[in-house]
Amino acid sequence: MSHKCNHKKEIITTDKVPAAIGPYSVAVSAGNLLFVSGQLGIDAQSGNLAEGVEAQTRMALTNMSAILAAAGRSLADVVKTTVFLNDIADFAKMNAVYAEFFTEGFPARSAFQVAALPKSALVEIEAIALRQCCDSEDCCD
C-alpha cells in the first residue's frame, strides 16, 4: 500500500514548559519526525533553573516529556538525544537521572562537554522522536 507523505512543517507549542528564550520553537514536526529543541532544567512555573545537575536533568527531561505529549508522542518514541554538559565530570550524575526516564529501547545518544550553556545551566538535552505508525495510516501527515 502506498501513501503520500505530507512534508509540511508544524510548530509545536505547549504552556507546560518554559517559553523559548530566543527566536526558535520548542519543537518542530516535519513528516514523521519531531525535533525537540534543547531543554534546560528550568521550572515552567517559577522560570528558575533547578539546583544541581541531577535536578536540572530531571526538569529538562520532564519538560521534554511535556513537549512530546503536546505533539502526540512520548519518550518511547525518541530515537536520538544529544546531551550537553557544562562539566563532563557530571556525566554519571546526569546518566543516573536519564536512566529513570529512558528505561528500555534506549535512544541513540551523544554527550559533550561544552564551554557554557544558556542561563549558566549545567545540562541541556535535545531529542529527535519518530511518529510510530502502521500500514493503514500515513506516517507523514
Q: What is the pLDDT of residues 95-133, one digit of tens each?
A: 999 999 999 999 999 999 999 999 999 999 999 999 876
CATH of the domain at 121: 3.30.1330.40
pTM: 0.89
Which pLDDT does position 2 carry in this prediction? 41
Q: Note whether residue 54 is domain-resident.
A: yes
Q: Is residue 117 part of a domain?
A: yes
What is the band of 134 on the pLDDT scale with cuts at 50, 70, 90?
low
Determine the Cα–Cα distance for residues 68 and 83; give it in Å rounded to an integer: 17
Q: What is the pLDDT of residues 2-49, one digit of tens each?
A: 444 556 899 999 999 998 888 999 999 999 999 999 999 999 999 999
* Residue 107 falls inside a structural domain: yes
Distance CA 114, CA 112 (A): 6
Parent domain of 68: 9-130
Residue 70 lies in a domain: yes
**Inside any domain, residue 138:** no
Determine the Cα–Cα distance for residues 32 and 24; give it in Å rounded to an integer.
20
> What's the domain count of the chain?
1
Q: Is residue 17 part of a domain?
A: yes
In a domain, 136, yes or no: no
Mean pLDDT score, 69-91:
97
